[in-house]
Amino acid sequence: MNLPNKLTLSRIFLIPIFILLLSLPLDFGEWNIGNTTLPVHHFIAALIFIIGSVTDWVDGYYARKHNLITNLGKFLDPLADKLLVSAALIMLVEMELAAGWIVIIIISREFAVTGLRLVAAGEGTVLAAGSMGKLKTATQMIAIIILLLHNFPFSYLNFPLGTILLYLALIFTVISGVDYFYKNWHVMRDSK
Residue numbers in the chain where pLDDT is lower than 50: none
Classify 39 as helix, strand or coil.
strand
Tens digits of residue pLDDT in 85-139: 999 999 999 999 999 999 999 999 999 998 888 888 777 777 777 788 889 999 9
Q: What is the pTM of this model?
A: 0.89
C-alpha distances (whole Å) from 47 to each of 6, 13, 144, 152 are 19, 15, 11, 13
SS3 of residue 14 by DSSP: helix
User: What is residue 191's predicted lDDT score, i.e. its pLDDT?
Assistant: 53
Could you give the number of structural domains in the chain? Answer: 1
Alpha-carbon span 137 to 130, nearest angstrom:
11
> What is the model's pLDDT at position 190?
64
Residue-by-residue DSSP string for 66-90: TT---HHHHHHHHHHHHHHHHHHHH
Distance CA 56, CA 50 (A): 10
Residue 33's domain comprises 3-188
135: domain CATH number is 1.20.120.1760
Q: 147 near 49, Cβ under 8 Å?
A: no
Does the CA dihedral 34-38-40-45 come out positive or negative?
negative
For residue 75, the model assigns a pLDDT of 81
